[in-house]
Copies of this chain bind each other. A is one copy, B any other.
Amino acid sequence: MSQGHGRGRRRGRPDTRKTIVDAARSRFLEDGYHAVTLRSVAADADVDIALIGYYFGSKKGLFGAALALPANPAELLADLLRSGDHSDFPERAARTVLRAWDDPRTGPELLSLLRRAGVDGSLSVLLREVLEAEVIRPLGALLGGSDAPQRAASFSAIMTGLVTSRYLLRLDPIASMSTEDVVAHITPLLGQALRGPGRTRRPPAATV
């Protein structure tokens, strides 16, 4: 209100945080996810690199803040993999994605980001790189075994299809199905994706 905002250096913590976020956003959009280092952002923002760790924890955290992500897929995945036993991972993953997108505080912002990525080339590249680096690759590493990257990619493709169908295109009936109904239909697909084609058991009867 009565605080004068001069042209000099930022003085308090909120300004420092914002300066870092602004520098990170520019760097990510210009250079992509892989090329950005915490060191380069610290230099751009003219702050000590330790401050970035203090405010954002990691590159993932900085990325989420830079894009003002209300729900950071990388951090959601990390949480999912850390907690609980792994046998119900597909179901917990489906619930986590649905929760983030159904929530009126986070869903609309995620949708807006997805829409912009469709027409904004550098945002689309950034989204691709972060999904590859922070979701598909870690999940593949965890799965192990033959075809692990392809199985992780199939898993990611189902999630992408769920989000695009339910929230972007709003296709019926998937847009109007209850959370429980979506979870019931998507969980077996996610499980099948993680198992991969080598562990498919074909039904004896015709499929359609």
Residues of A within 8 A of B (CB): 81, 85-90, 114-115, 117-119, 124, 127-128, 131-132, 136, 142-143, 147, 149-151, 153-154, 156-162, 164-166, 168-174, 177, 181, 184-189, 191-197, 199-203, 206-208
Distance from A169 Cβ to chain B, minimum over Cβ atoms (Å):
5
Asked if B208 and A194 make an inter-chain contact with CB atoms under 8 angstroms apart, the answer reads: yes
A105 → chain B closest CB, angstroms: 22
- Nearest B residue to A144 via CB reads B208
- Tell me whether B115 and A185 are in contact (CB under 8 A): no
Q: Which of B142, B154, B165, B207 contacts A160 (CB 8 A)?
A: B165
A153-B165, A187-B197 provided; 19 other pairs, C-beta below 8 A? A87-B206, A119-B119, A128-B169, A128-B171, A142-B208, A143-B208, A149-B173, A150-B173, A150-B174, A153-B177, A157-B161, A157-B162, A157-B165, A158-B161, A160-B164, A185-B197, A188-B200, A191-B202, A201-B201
The answer to whether B197 and A184 have CB atoms under 8 Å apart is yes
Q: List 22 A-B contacts (CB under 8 A).
A: A85-B206, A87-B206, A88-B207, A128-B170, A132-B171, A132-B172, A136-B172, A142-B208, A143-B208, A149-B173, A153-B165, A153-B171, A153-B177, A153-B185, A156-B165, A160-B161, A160-B164, A164-B164, A185-B196, A191-B202, A195-B203, A201-B201
Q: Is A185 within 8 A of B150, CB to CB? A: yes
In the complex, A143 Cα to B199 Cα: how many Å? 25
